[in-house]
Structures are given as C-alpha cells and as structure tokens.
Structure 1
Amino acid sequence: MMPETQTIFQTLGTEDPLGLWTSVPAPAQAGMVHFGIGDEEPSAPPPDEPVFRVNLPANLAASREALCSSAATFEQVNSALDDVPGRLTDLVARTQERQQKQAAGVSFDVQSFEPELGPEGDLLSLLGDADAEAGAEKASGDVHFGIGEPVSEAWLEAKSRFEALLEQINREVLHFAWVETNLGGRLISRTSVDWSGDAHTVWAEGVNAEQMALHQQTLKIVTQTRNMRLRLFVTVASGATKVAGLLATPGGAVLALPAVYQYVTKIVAQAKQLQSIQSA
C-alpha cells in the first residue's frame, strides 16, 4: 500500500520528455484485474501502446488536491515554452552581431568576449557539433564516423533523445493510450483513448461518483500531456528555424532540431526546478 500522501504519475515503458510523468518498466502482465460491470473485463494493454497510470492515496480529499496541484506544473511548463521563441531571437541577434564584428575585424568590447552561459551556451556548442558532423559527412560521403572525428557525446545524446521524441509522438498518434487510475493501491478504472478523443471506460465494481470524478480528472491530465508533447515538438521545430542561420551548413533547420530540443527541455527543467524551490 502506498503512503497516503504519495501521488505518482507513471508511464509504462516510455520516457516523458517534459518530465511530468515518471517512467517505469512495463510488467509482463499488466492490469489483470476483475471488473464488475456486466461481463466486461479489460485485458492488459498491448505492449506497444502508451499507458498512463496515476496512483492516488485512498483519501479522496488528498487525491483531489494532488490532481489539482498538477495544474500548476502544466502552467509552469507552458510558461517555459512561451519563453523559448523570445530567448532564441535574442540569442541569434547576439551571436550574429559577434559574427559580423569578427568578420569585419572590429574590436570586441569586454562584454562581447563573454561566452553564453547556461542552456544558450550549451545550444551554441551543440550547433557547432551539428556543423562538424555535417562537414564530416560531406567529406566522407556517408554517415559513419570513426575514432577521433569531431562529434561530441553531447551531440550524439541530443540526436538520440530527439529521435526518441519522434518515435514517441508517432507511437501516440498511431495507437490508443490507456489511462489507469489507482486509488489506495486498487485499480478503479481503465480507459482506452484514441487520438481523436474517443474513449471507452470500464469501472471496477463498487466505484462511486466521487471516485469516477477522480478518473475523469486523470483523463484530463493525460489529454493535456499529449497536447503539450505536440506543443513541445512545434516549439522545437520553430526554434530550429530561428537558429538555422547560425549554421554554416545548408539545411540548417533540420540539423538544428536535436540541439534545439535539448535546449527546450533544459528550459523546462529549470522552470520546474524553480517551481519546486518556491513551493518547498
């Protein structure tokens, strides 16, 4: 039995790029629970379909409070995504000014020598790696790299994480999502939802109206999560277009996607960390 104060938002077998849900391994046999509505007894979700699971305390008031508090987290993430376009516009302007001064042989003032810090500095470093990789590919005529070639581990990680995001979005578009609400360690409801929002819900025997309302709130949170992941991708794509001019290689927007994705997730993580400190 979980502690009364603990609420866990879980996804089975998949990482959440926004850090709103905790990833846990998918069990071999999930959700073999007997439900008492007619003869309906939902089988375990297929292994290739997303599962969102919310574990709530048995106390209904504590459960309602926990679900409502998630709204603040979503607001914080949305606010962080709102900030990205402006921050990237400013970064591009500063960087291009430095590049123009350097090309013209103009002396830099002290402030101009200061490197970008934080996520912006990491982004510029990754963009440099993107240029280096593109140059190596062009020189070798293929996409294979050997020892000593100028591609950093950070860039390889950024590419891997962005590819995982694309796979996840594709997976969620093509498949149903399964949403489970557990109350005090007991599975009270499971819903399958397709991308259009059509849903089929089965309830455990004896579930009351208040418990049903908790599951409806869970469904709302899952819908917000899926929408926010799409917004994340749109933010990354538009951001890559903004910074494309900083790359020397043609097709810069496509090359910049992994770097900008890494940048955006760091901005989101900073915002969540700040909220955690403020609420402590």
Structure 2
Amino acid sequence: MKNNTIASTAASSSSSSNSGTKQCAIVTGATSGIGAAIARALAAQGFALFLVGRREAAGQALVDALRAEGAVVTFYAVDLSDKAAPEAIIEAAIAAFGRVDVLINNAGLLSRGSAEETSDVEWDQVMDVNLGSVFRLSRAVIPLFRAQSGGVIVNIASDWALVGAKGAVAYAVSKAAVAQLTRCMALDHAHEGIRINAVCPGDTDTPMLAAGVNGDERIATLAEYGASIPMGRVGTTEDIARVAAFLVSDAAGYMTGTLIPVDGGATAG
C-alpha cells in the first residue's frame, strides 16, 4: 500500500496547531483490538496520537471517535512490510505534531501451524511484520529520541515469547525475537535516556483471537480459552492497554529492558 495520510491536510494541520506542547505517541496496528485500546489509554493521558495501520476506513472511524472525545489525533495508512515505511512514518508524525516521544510497536500477524505446516512465504511474512517492522521502526526513531535526550518504546510481544507454544511456530518465534530485541536495544540505549520495554499479552479478546467465530460460538470459545487460565478468563484489550500506558508514564521511569506478562497467570507455572 502506498504511504498516505488518511485525515485531510486541513484536519492534520488543525491537529498540529491544537497539539501545543503535547507529547506525541505513534501507535502501530491501531485500527482495532489492543492497538485501539492503547490509543484510547494514551489519549486519556493527554498524548497527541499518530495512529498507523493498513485499514483506512477503520482508522478514520477511530480518529473520528477519539476527536469527538477531545483527543488530538491523526491516522496514517501504510503497509509496514514496506521497507521505506519507518522513515515515512517518522517524517509524517513530525510534520503533524512537531515531535515524537513514544513509539508503540503493536502491529502483528497471527499464524498457526507447526514448522512442517508453515510455508516459507508464511514464515517470511510473519517474521517481517512481527519482528522486522519493530526493528525498522525502532531503528528509525532512535536518532530522534537521542537528539531530544529521551523517548520511550513499548513493544507488544506475547506470553508465547516467554514459553513454548504448540501449533504456532512462526508467531511464537517472532515474538520471542521481539523480546530479545527489546532487551538488547534497552541495553544499547539506556545511557541516552531511551527506555524500551515489552508487554507480553496472553489470550486476549481481540478480533485476532478466535478469528471467524461469532455470536454465542465466540462467547463459548473465549470461555473455553479462559478456563485454562488461572484467573479464569481471557484478557481484555484494556488490560493490556493499561500496562502499556504505565510503561509510557513517568511512574515507570526506572524501567527498561523488562518483559511484562499480562496473561492472568498463564505463564506463572
């Protein structure tokens, strides 16, 4: 998909002029699920939001909803598999808001199957989006954070980054790599005032979980998943968003290189 801003030029200019001294947060994979919940949580903290995703209509609908609640927000449509996307995203965010203070790497693909069942194409696609885009966008924002003496990156990994997973080899390996990328980058940039942490969600009620299952069948499926979790339920997107918002805040100012499972106790055993 060609890079393009979804909000009109006038709307983007209005957002920029209204942002004042607001800090700006980029959120990828923002059109639904965990990404949309994080956007709402950061809006409540007063951030100007630069939301990134592939689905233009869903992105604009979220922008409209957040603006109706008083948020300063714009949306940028891009395919993160495009190697030129990171620089374009940073440039557009600076044009819209004059600064970037936070990067939330949330975009991802879920792929199911053992190694034998996973094709080269599927493996490459999952690795490129789940890991490659996190690497490239983080790499692109680091010089900006360095120049302004600080910034925060929060990567959305998975509890499958911490334990083995059956029947999801590409997804689990990609998220484990995101966890290691988080630790390595945190060590490389801690002295520059750049904090990098990861949230590791367990089963969470998003469109990705139990995809294609609706109505009573979906309720039953989520209940079945929840029965195997110590707290007795799957997570909500708000459960994940609250932890991401904490990691962005000054309350987490001495935290970097951490991997925080938010999974109802699933990985504790």
Q: Give your verdict on TM over 0.5.
A: no
Q: TM-score, normalised by structure 1?
A: 0.23
The structure that is helix-richer by fraction is 1
Of structures 1 and 2, the one with the larger relative CO (CA 8 A, separation 6+) is: 1
User: Which structure would you say has the larger Rg?
Assistant: 1
TM-score (norm 2): 0.24
